[in-house]
Structure 1
């Protein structure tokens, strides 16, 4: 039988010496997140059904039962409706660097992160596969996705600098961040250029070779006294 009592919003007690558990979001924050999720879900459903260019903002707002004003408060441009988890993507990217196993290089950690994403793309989830197909087949979304991904460069470069003991403005950190974020696209471009489908083995091998090059170059930076 399910509980009939509402769940407690009080943070769980933390073990001795541990930081307190984060306070759960309040009702207003939960409602805002639910509205955002409903808008994004409605948009993606319509885009997948009819194509990105054939769906209007007003239609999305009606499908999500919100006003166009509310929609634009959450998503200032149409392309952003498809990439509603941008902040989470950046957080996972930074975590890949900061939470890597002892002894693993930064490029190796980023390589594993990229390979996990590639496995997810090839994992057979129909909705995720359809999402990738939508982005790949829509020039506006491809361009927005690339620009969004590169916006993470500054945050990643800061994390790389902190983890490597280098200055925050060290150009090597920015370069590594930039090329690591470009690597998945470079791998796909390589596969496309050889007339191959996006086969998991082909793209995986291209990714590994790309990150091997980055890792070799990074070792020359970190080996300097």
Structure 2
């Protein structure tokens, strides 16, 4: 990464960090982009250059979140199905404390801001829908499915719904004030149950061919 790109990344991070601080303090709907720009000492146009909407300021890692499941499918091992790959990736995130899961202190305040804002709730739904759309296209490409084959869309819907339910469970427990370690353990147990159930119907779907055969 060159110096110019490093400066851009630093500016983006500074804007996002400042925005989050204001959102947590005042609530999403009571903060303007101009408020963020003044705090960081940049122009409003500069903020919009990095974040096209105010919702993008709050969910500044949304593209990373959207790509989680498609990336897991693309990275699956030989003979590994899509379900197995997503399961392995999710459990690894749990074990490694992936930040986007929200299993750390301070996340209750984050989710309370979301609960108070219809705009942020709508963006969450959009992110889920976009994840399903990108995953379906990834599965179609990975399996060579025809355009009229419904399985990539069906499998994407099932995988996205399972992942969404697990994240909703984390959010609920965090808002209840449960200890992050307890939430992690319970979520891991629930994930095992969920993916076991899902595997019953999709256990062989998108399995890579065995190169030895």
RMSD: 3.3
Contact 1:75/1:81 (CA < 8 Å) preserved in 2?
A: yes
TM-score using structure 1 length: 0.69
Aligned residues: 196
Give the number of the structure whose alpha-carbon radius of gyration is greater: 1
CA drift of 1:77 comes to: 1.8
CA drift of 1:59 comes to: 0.9
Q: Which runs of 5+ in 1 are unaligned?
A: 1-23
* CA gap 1:103/1:32 in 2 versus in 1, 3 angstroms: same
1:171 aligned residue (141, 144, 150) = 150
Equivalent residue, structure 2, for 1:184 = 163
* Inter-partner Cα distance in structure 1 for 2:170 and 2:111: 16
Contact 2:114/2:121 (CA < 8 Å) preserved in 1?
A: yes
- The structure with more helix, counted as a fraction of residues: 2
Contact 1:156/1:177 (CA < 8 Å) preserved in 2?
A: yes
Equivalent residue, structure 1, for 2:40 = 64
CA drift of 1:168 comes to: 5.5
Instruction: Name the SS of the counterpart of 1:152 in structure 2.
Output: helix
Please give the residue correspondences for 1:195-214 in structure 2 after superposition, counting only pairs within 5 Å: 199-214=183-198
Cα deviation digits, residues 165-222 of structure 1 (max 9, x gap): 43365321122222322223334667999xx957444443443333333322224756
Contact 2:81/2:204 (CA < 8 Å) preserved in 1?
A: no
* Inter-partner Cα distance in structure 2 for 1:98 and 1:32: 29
Q: Is residue 95 of structure 1 aligned with residue 78 of structure 2?
A: no
* Inter-partner Cα distance in structure 1 for 2:159 and 2:34: 38
